[in-house]
């Protein structure tokens, strides 16, 4: 549970940093809009907790295709 708590704290810090000129509540709406319109920086979700979160196996099913998984792996490799 500590890993998820840290992940949420980090996410909220990134939201506050990305949208520092508006309230926290408004920042969440801006974030959702930017995410839906693919306007977030590629490294927005990249952090040191990513692997730890994935290793928790919270999500047991994935609706992503093999093609999507390959694209994700390639993007991850490019950002490292």
pTM: 0.54
d(C-alpha 22, C-alpha 38), whole Å: 20
Report pLDDT for 80: 53
Q: From its phi and psi, is residue 59 left (phi > 0), alpha (psi between -120 and 50) or beta?
A: beta
Confidence of residue 10 (pLDDT cuts 50, 70, 90): confident
Tell me the three state secondary structure of residue 59: coil
Mean pLDDT of 63-74: 72
- Mean pLDDT is lowest, of 5-9, 20-24, 67-71, for 67-71
The pLDDT tens digits for 12-65 are 888 999 999 999 899 999 999 998 998 988 777 776 666 677 777 766 666 667
């Amino acid at each position: 549970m500590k890993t998820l708590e840290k992940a949420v704290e980090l996410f909220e810090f990134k939201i506050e940093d990305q949208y520092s000129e508006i309230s926290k509540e408004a920042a969440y709406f801006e974030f959702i809009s930017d995410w839906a319109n693919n306007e977030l920086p590629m490294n927005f979700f990249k952090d040191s907790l990513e692997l730890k979160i994935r290793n928790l196996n919270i999500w047991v099913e994935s609706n992503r295709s093999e093609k999507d998984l390959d694209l994700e792996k390639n993007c991850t490799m490019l950002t490292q």
